[in-house]
Structure 1
Amino acid sequence: MPRTHNNRLRALLQEADWSGAQLASALRTLAAEHGQRLACDRSTVSRWLAGTAPRPPAPELLLQALSRRLQRPVSAAEAGLSSAPATVPDLSWEADPLHRLTVLTRAETDPHIRHTLRTGTYNLAVPDVWRSGQTPSAGTRQRAPRTKGRAGHAEAEEMRTMARVFAEAAQLHGPGHVRSALAAYLSRDVTRCLHAPATEKARRRLLVGSAQLALMFGGMCADGGAEALAQHYQHTAAQLASEAGDASTFAIALRAMSTHAHDMGHHTPAVLHLAERAADAARAADGAVGAYAQAQLAVMQAHHNGRAALKALTAAERLHEQVPSAAPGPFDHYPAAALHYQRAQTLATLGDTAGANRALTTSLRLRAPTDRQGATLTRARLAESCLAQGRLDTALAHWHRFLDAYPVLHSSRVARRLGAMRRLLHPHRRHHATAQLLARAVALG
């Protein structure tokens, strides 16, 4: 049977003003960004246009490349890739956020969909609506038929309590074991509440609570290396917060997206725009959220404009000083230790190694006893900074303390810092104290 030509893909190439060779080049570059190799040239694109279905991971890379080029989301259907493996139905940016959350949480119990989501491709294309200067306002979307039972302020308060419990458990023991419990809570309790009848005021509180829990789960996915899945939860959280008209949670969601991209090594203008948009949204929020957003803006600006980075850092510190003391909570408290950590990131990028080292030392000193993961990651970065300054003995002392905490933290981020320690110390492996530390690390697995 003759193949049907993919005229939809051809139309997108024309809209993008790309030749087949230019698309192939963009795909190879994009694959390299994700640590992949893609055999693709002009003849490969010609076969796709003739109707041959691209093989994974080409379909997702193709959609991402076109989305980035056209500055708008491009779906598989629009690109004529219906025969390509889809991620999960209706997870586009335009999809209803409640539907997205329901599909995502249910996927946690479906091995096939879960695997597809976790092996998906992270997308740097940013929806235009999140790059504008508009403040979120409560949505008026008509909901699907409600389930039986009602949900109200008590359920919203329960979500806040559960967020605090999950956050504290993740800080103490790492997100590895907490993630499955949070997934079950989102899938069973949270989505049920969102489908239940509620007053408009209660519904907004429920949307905010679910957005915050989705953000928390997205962070746990990112910790485990499921970058695309983390991004799905971040997008959903931003949409839920926007529908609730909650500027604080919306700003936190955009900030989380920028932080996630930065941690993956993306420092492009698109990621800077996310940080700027978060700072814009935070102007309608309280001072703690403003400081939180400005600190990430400083981290991102350091890759583009040093003066702007220091200005944002000063703004973050000023806002933080004005915040009254409050009971710690994952979404209404920005610890000074975290601010100093972002200060260290900013200064390190600007080349101020000594200043970054001082900021890391302050961050470590200010860490709460319950923030074991934060303290452990900060200590690892401090050890790396000390080694870069030629202070091997000090670095080894910090790494020994890092190994003290390592066995009780179930975190891929912490495990990656252990791998970094081994690589950095390899040139010093004949040094007696270094050899002892490396031997201890081997014993930990």
Structure 2
Amino acid sequence: MPKSPNTNLRILLQEADWSGTQLAIAVRHMAAERGQQVSCGQSTVSRWLSGTTPRPPMPALLLGVLSRRLQRPVTASEAGLSRTPVHGSDVFDLSWEADPLRRLSLLTGSDLDPSRRHLLGAGMFSLAALAVPDAWPTPEKSPAGPPPRTARARGRAGGAEVAQMQTMARMFAEAAEAHGPGHVRTALAAYLHHDVTGYLHAPAGEEAHRRLLSGAAQLSLLLGTMCAGSGADALAQRYHHTAAHLATEADDTTTFAIALRTMSAHAHDLGHHTPAVLNLAQRATDATRHAAPIICAYAQAHLAVMQAHHDKHAALTALTASEHLYEQERAAPGPFSHYPAGALHYQRAQTLAALGDRTGASRALTTSLRLRAPGERQARTLTRARLAETLLAQGHLEQALTHWQTFLDDYPTLHSTRTTHRLHAMRQLLHPHRRHHATAHLLAQAATLH
């Protein structure tokens, strides 16, 4: 950033109707939300406006608060924090006017390049970016053109490549579930960057190209979910958003619905239960109007979880609808065609827990655990942790310890931020019971894990 006044930032402040002091307060509040402590006052903002470059983590916080205030994504280039709108601005651009194919190539390329990976960590999860147009837009292609074609793109792409992508989606999903997303994420990013983007730029018939776009959208969704499971929430949001955009270009309403549902679920998992997140869950169910019953059940189950924070009757209605739809069809196995029974009961538990029914939630989690397939290792481990937490809340310490012991036995086999969060929660919840002999033994075992 040049040593000249940052007029871009000043314009954004005027648009936000904020003074420098108000911006500083917002930055400190967002830092506190993220567990950070920063020193930021009116004099700090004045230095930024005069052209001083903010030091990390200030750029990410600054973009985060401006995006939240303006209800739209604000890029580093727009805020005057970057002189070069090259790869970085396209990576951060979540507008529906951007080219999703270019963004996918830039995202995965930056994810794989150690010299550019820091760009991906500069953003923060944004509720403003959850806004999805009512109409399916046709994006304007980037004036810089599409990313360079790989050698693989010289031939035609068709049914064989589509089948390969479906097989790879199953393999990546199964590997992430068995071992945690941390071990699989980089491999999937490489496959998308080196192979899939080549297929998408290769000559193909109209129907084949749509199926390739659908496959890319589904793989991007998987990658986004793996990033979320690895604690990279802002990057996960970019992949999810890109997947939804690719699905619109493919005219694939089912994958689009799954993408919206995934975006809403991700926000919920981060503790956001706002009307905007609920609206996204509702949009997902609306998009399943012509989808298979199993997909409708998938969307309705999450809608029930979200409604539980707003309207009890609506939550129970959605939950009943989901269970009724689930009984109508048994789909073929696959990460985008099958909804495990254990997952349905897990979301029933989430709904009941949000409604204050701990007993019902405990029963649903017990059923979910019983129905988990052997390959659902991560889901089974997380379900067991949630069951232990629910049992302890009901005063059943001994039963909770039994489940937590199994959780600790399985924990080292998974590389997942979600399981790490449950480990930290276990330590905190059991700390008041640390004088209990069995609890002390469990806490000592947990102290050796990271």
Q: If the length of structure 1 is used for normalisation, what is the TM-score?
A: 0.92
**What is the distance in 2 between the residues matched to 1:84 and 1:155?**
36
1:102 matched to which residue of 2?
105
2:423 matched to which residue of 1?
418
For each residue in 1:289-347, what CA deviation from the matched residue of structure 2 results, as whole angstroms up to 9, or x when unmatched? 2221222122122222222222222222222222x112221001111211111111111
1:400 matched to which residue of 2?
405
Alignment of 1:117 onto 2:120 = yes
1:431 matched to which residue of 2?
436
Equivalence map 1:275-290=2 (5 Å): 275-290=281-296
Flag the 1:416–1:179 CA change in 2: closer, same or farther, 3 A: same
| Aligned partners of 1:259 and 1:296 also within 8 Å | yes
| Aligned partners of 1:73 and 1:127 also within 8 Å | no
Could you say what the CA RMSD is over the residues aligned between the two structures, in angstroms? Answer: 2.4
Alignment of 1:60 onto 2:60 = yes
2:11 matched to which residue of 1?
11
| Aligned partners of 1:93 and 1:127 also within 8 Å | no
**1:371 offset after TM fit, Å?**
0.8
Structure 2 residue runs of 5 or longer lacking an equivalent are: none
Flag the 1:337–1:238 CA change in 2: closer, same or farther, 3 A: same
Equivalence map 1:85-96=2 (5 Å): 88-91=88-91, 92-94=93-95, 95-96=98-99
**What is the distance in 2 between the residues matched to 1:120 and 1:140?**
24
| Aligned partners of 1:218 and 1:229 also within 8 Å | yes
Equivalence map 1:196-275=2 (5 Å): 196-275=202-281
**1:108 offset after TM fit, Å?**
2.9
Equivalence map 1:30-429=2 (5 Å): 30-83=30-83, 88-91=88-91, 92-94=93-95, 95-118=98-121, 120-126=123-129, 128=131, 130=132, 132=134, 134=135, 136=136, 144=146, 147-322=153-328, 324-429=329-434
Flag the 1:73–1:442 CA change in 2: closer, same or farther, 3 A: closer
**1:12 offset after TM fit, Å?**
2.2
**1:403 offset after TM fit, Å?**
2.4
Residue 357 of structure 1: SS of its match in structure 2? helix
**What is the distance in 1 between the residues matched to 2:311 and 2:284?**
18
Residue 266 of structure 1: SS of its match in structure 2? coil
Q: Given residue 290 of structure 1, which amino acid in structure 2 is its aligned partner?
A: C
**What is the distance in 2 between the residues matched to 1:261 and 1:87?**
26
- Deviation larger for 328-337 or 420-429: 420-429
| Aligned partners of 1:53 and 1:84 also within 8 Å | no
For each residue in 1:13-70, what CA deviation from the matched residue of structure 2 results, as whole angstroms up to 9, or x when unmatched? 2222222222222222222222222322223223322333333222232223222222
**What is the distance in 1 between the residues matched to 2:287 and 2:242?**
17
| Aligned partners of 1:138 and 1:245 also within 8 Å | no
- Deviation larger for 239-248 or 397-406: 397-406
Residue 88 of structure 1: SS of its match in structure 2? helix
**What is the distance in 1 between the residues matched to 2:286 and 2:174?**
29
**What is the distance in 2 between the residues matched to 1:186 and 1:369?**
28
| Aligned partners of 2:75 and 2:89 also within 8 Å | no
**What is the distance in 1 between the residues matched to 2:130 and 2:445?**
47
Flag the 1:242–1:27 CA change in 2: closer, same or farther, 3 A: same
**What is the distance in 2 between the residues matched to 1:417 and 1:244?**
38
Structure 1 residue runs of 5 or longer lacking an equivalent are: none
| Aligned partners of 2:130 and 2:277 also within 8 Å | no
**What is the distance in 2 between the residues matched to 1:63 and 1:400?**
42
For each residue in 1:133-165, what CA deviation from the matched residue of structure 2 results, as whole angstroms up to 9, or x when unmatched? x4x478796984864111111101111111111
Q: Given residue 34 of structure 1, which amino acid in structure 2 is its aligned partner?
A: R
**What is the distance in 2 between the residues matched to 1:218 and 1:44?**
35
Identity %: 65
| Aligned partners of 1:379 and 1:402 also within 8 Å | yes
| Aligned partners of 1:131 and 1:274 also within 8 Å | no
Flag the 1:189–1:84 CA change in 2: closer, same or farther, 3 A: closer
**What is the distance in 1 between the residues matched to 2:40 and 2:299?**
40
Q: If the length of structure 2 is used for normalisation, what is the TM-score?
A: 0.91
**1:421 offset after TM fit, Å?**
1.6
